[in-house]
Structure 1
Amino acid sequence: MAEASIEWLSGDVLETQLSAPGSLLLVFVAEWCEPCQALVPRLERLAAQQRERLRCYLVDVDRDPQTAQKYGVRGMPTLALFEDGDLDATRVGALDDAQLASFIETALDA
């Protein structure tokens, strides 16, 4: 997968980020996953647009399977939106720009 400008997280660093207040989007991906590869550029645009409201990170399910299992990830890509450390909403699939924006806006405005 092409190197993303969104930071990759795992383990203790991930747990530290999850414990911080605010909105955080974790996107569970795999290198072999073509829909994941298609989604990452859209995420980068969204992260740049929403950086004041949302922290966005990638998690590689092959390198960090315990985190994927902890959050019930069964398909890729899986988007998990957390608010103040609590899982607020999830979506599975390579969302297009409009779907991605709608998912984020609906979750952040809830």
Structure 2
Amino acid sequence: MKGKFDTLIDQDTPVLIDFYADWCGPCQAMTPVFKEVAAKYEGKVKIIKIDVDKNQPLAQRFGIRSIPTMMLFKQGKELWKKAGMMTGRELSQLLDQAI
């Protein structure tokens, strides 16, 4: 039986996961970027934020060693994974390639 997370990423719509923590400065700096991207890709990409402190098993499952880390999934498959900060333009370019 699939877990909630696996069901979430196993869909035709791409799912962008942001692994973050509340205490992480670079993660907080990414907030406006995610808001911009969420507005631009509304209905085309789902964006989910996962707090690594509250979801340690999930962070371990995907080998999250630094934050922020973004991962993009489509139909249950990992399309890409990127650690560190990104600009809205960089993130948009990666999403455009995946859609």
CA distance in 1, matches of 2:8, 2:41: 17
1:26-58 per-residue CA deviation (whole Å, 9 max, x = no partner) reads: 010011111100112211110111012100000
What letter corresponds to residue 18 of structure 1 in structure 2?
I
Matched residue, 1:34: 25
- The alignment yields a C-alpha RMSD, in angstroms, of 1.3
What percent identity do the matched residue pairs reach?
29
- The answer (yes or no) to whether the contact 2:18–2:50 under 8 Å persists in 1 is yes
Q: Measure how far apart 1:107 and its partner are.
A: 2.8
- The answer (yes or no) to whether the contact 2:11–2:74 under 8 Å persists in 1 is no
Corresponding residue SS for 2:30: helix
TM-score normalised to the size of structure 2?
0.88
CA distance in 2, matches of 1:102, 1:14: 25
- The answer (yes or no) to whether the contact 1:23–1:55 under 8 Å persists in 2 is yes
CA distance in 2, matches of 1:101, 1:20: 20
Give unmatched runs, 5+ long, in structure 1. 1-11
RCO comparison, higher one (Cα < 8 Å, 6+)? 2
CA distance in 2, matches of 1:41, 1:14: 25
